[in-house]
Amino acid sequence: MELTYPSKLSPAPVSFRLRLAEGWEPRPHASAAAFAVDTRSPEQFTVNLLMLTTRVRRDASLEELVEAAQSSPQTAQFGPTVQRRVRDEIGGREALLSVLTLAKPMPLFQAQVAVLVRRDSGIHDLVHGYATCPAALAKQYGAVFRAMFETLTISA
Domains and CATH numbers, the chain: 15-155 (3.40.1000.10)
23: left (phi over 0), alpha (psi -120 to 50) or beta: left
C-alpha separations of 127 from 17, 26, 63, 111 in Å: 11, 17, 13, 14
Instruction: Tell me what the mean pLDDT of segment 24-50 comes to.
Output: 97
The phi and psi torsions of 143 (rounded to 5 degrees) equal -70, -35
pLDDT band of 20, cuts 50, 70, 90:
very high
Q: What is the DSSP letter of 136?
A: G
- Residue closest to 61 by CA, chosen among 114, 101, 17, 112: 114
pTM over cut 0.75 = yes
Which region among 7-11, 22-26, 145-149 has the lowest average model confidence (pLDDT)?
A: 7-11
Using one digit for the tens of pLDDT, what is the confidence trace for 44-96?
Answer: 999 999 999 999 977 889 999 998 888 888 888 888 999 999 999 999 999 99
Spatial CB neighbours of 123, under 8 Å, sequence gap ≥ 6: 9, 10, 11, 55, 56, 57
pLDDT, tens only, 106-137 = 999 999 999 999 888 788 999 999 999 999 99
